[in-house]
Structure 1
Amino acid sequence: MRIAIISDIHANFPALEQTLKSIEQQNIDAVYCLGDLVGYNLCPNAVINEIRKRHIPTLAGNHDVKAVQIHNEGSNDSESYAYQIVGKEQIKYLSALPAHIKLEFQTTDKLIKILMVHGSPYSNTEYLLEDKKENDFTAIFLDSNADIIICGHSHKPYHRVLENPNKKGGYFHAINAGSVGKPKDGNPKCCYAVLTMDKSSNLSKKEGVQVEFIRVDYDIEKTAMAIEESPLPNVYALMLRKAY
């Protein structure tokens, strides 16, 4: 089973298009999205419509929640433009997105529990960064009853293996899928993660879970120039070019 995980598209439809083309070439069995479909760019409705058309299970990111709040409460300031352009049908979709996705995968000798979140199991605004203190990180796994936690939100991809303090020789796996539409790791190419699970997947080995990060090129300059020609702040274009 090869699972593609995308996250943080942020209304960047050209980036999503090329990412989905890449996924189609990777012999993928399932695709999941960790949220933040909107914000920072000009094509939130196209992004949402494509995700819906493909029936991709999707979480509510903090920017998705913000878009719903702005539409419910009203806002006319320029900083809200990226959310004001989200359509009513798309807002209805965003308002119904869940906070978590849980999967269970049966290996030869164990049931592996996978928890997908946008930020953390507790909040879509909390960051699970790669350098988080190990004790604090493992406490989240124990509290969530998860073996693998897959998150987004920081826009910085990583795969970190942590020792399970309750099981000698056992490991937890923390995975950040990176960002499709607005990377922040200095590489402006789209990023998504591929998790490979099979009957031999083994949590008693550090290498027992296979994770690959795939980078995808798209016309970054054209997308950045479109932002500069719009009411959005020009700094959003620079963020795309420089990936910060």
Structure 2
Amino acid sequence: MRIAIISDIHANFPALEETLKSIEQQNIDAVYCLGDLVGYNLWPNEVINEIRKRHIPTLEGNHDVKAVDIHSMASKDSDSYAYQIVGKEQIEYLSTLPAHIKLEYQVINKLIMILMVHGSPYSNREYLLEDKDEKDFTDIFLDSGADVILCGHSHKPYHRVMKNPDKLGGYFHAINVGSVGKPKDGNPKCCYAVITINKDSDFSKKESIEVEFVRVAYDIEKVAKAIEDSELPNSYAQMLREAY
């Protein structure tokens, strides 16, 4: 089973288009999205419509919540322009998105659970950073019952493997899939993750799953100039160029 995971598109439709082309060129069995379809850019409706057209299961990110809240308050604040341009039908879609997606796989030695979240199992605003204290991190796995946690939110990809302190042993896998539309790791190319799990995957070993981070080029300057020609802050354009 090969799963492509995308996240944090942030209304960057040109980036999403190129990412989906990349996914189509690979032998992918399923695609999931960890949320934050909107914010920071000019094409929230195009992004949402494409995700819906392709029937990609999607989580509600913190910026998706913000868009729904701003529309409910009918805010006209200039800082909320990126959310004001989200259409009514698209807002209704965002308001129905779930907080988690759980998948279970029977592998060689156990039933494993994959938990998909935007930020953390507790909040779409909480960051699960790569350098998080190991005990605090493993406690989250034990509390949630997950063997693999897939997250976004920080826009910084990583794959961290931690020993399960439970008497049953084995390993936990924390995977941040990066950002399609607004990377923050110094590399401005789109980022998504491909997770490979085989029937004979052995979760008593560190190498039980394969994780590949795929970087995809797109016309960053075209998007940046569109931002600068719009009502959005010019700083958003520089964030794309420098990936911070």
Common topology (TM > 0.5): yes
Give the deviation of 1:109 after TM superposition.
Answer: 2.2
Gaps of 5+ in 2: none
1:24 equivalenced with 2:21 (yes/no): no
Q: 2 CA distance for matches of 1:126 and 1:146?
A: 17
Q: Give the letter aligned to residue 155 of structure 1.
A: H
TM-score (norm 2): 0.99
Name the SS for the 1:201 alignment partner.
Answer: coil
Gaps of 5+ in 1: none
Task: Spell out, residue by residue over 1:166-211, the C-alpha distance to the aligned partner (whole angstroms, 9 max, x if none).
Answer: 0464100000000000000000000000000111111111111110
Matching residue of 2:240 = 240
Which residues in structure 2 correspond to 1:161-240 (within 5 Å)? 161-167=161-167, 169-240=169-240
Q: 2 CA distance for matches of 1:28 and 1:167?
A: 35
Q: 2 CA distance for matches of 1:108 and 1:172?
A: 16
Q: 2 CA distance for matches of 1:210 and 1:120?
A: 22
Name the SS for the 2:35 alignment partner.
Answer: coil
Instruction: State the number of aligned residues.
Output: 244
Matching residue of 2:87 = 87
Identical-pair percentage: 81
Q: 2 CA distance for matches of 1:15 and 1:50?
A: 12
Name the SS for the 2:232 alignment partner.
Answer: coil
Give the deviation of 1:156 after TM superposition.
Answer: 0.2
Matching residue of 1:78 = 78
> Which moves more between the two structures, 81-90 or 69-78?
69-78
Q: 2 CA distance for matches of 1:210 and 1:232?
A: 39
Task: Spell out, residue by residue over 1:6-33, the C-alpha distance to the aligned partner (whole angstroms, 9 max, x if none).
Answer: 0000000000000000000111000000
Q: 2 CA distance for matches of 1:202 and 1:37?
A: 34
Aligned-residue Cα RMSD (Å) equals 0.7
Matching residue of 1:45 = 45
TM-score (norm 1): 0.99
Which residues in structure 2 correspond to 1:47-196 (within 5 Å)? 47-167=47-167, 169-196=169-196
> Which moves more between the two structures, 119-128 or 168-177?
168-177
> Which moves more between the two structures, 196-205 or 90-99?
196-205
Task: Spell out, residue by residue over 1:131-166, the C-alpha distance to the aligned partner (whole angstroms, 9 max, x if none).
Answer: 000000000000000000000000000000001000
Aligned partners of 1:169 and 1:205 also within 8 Å: no
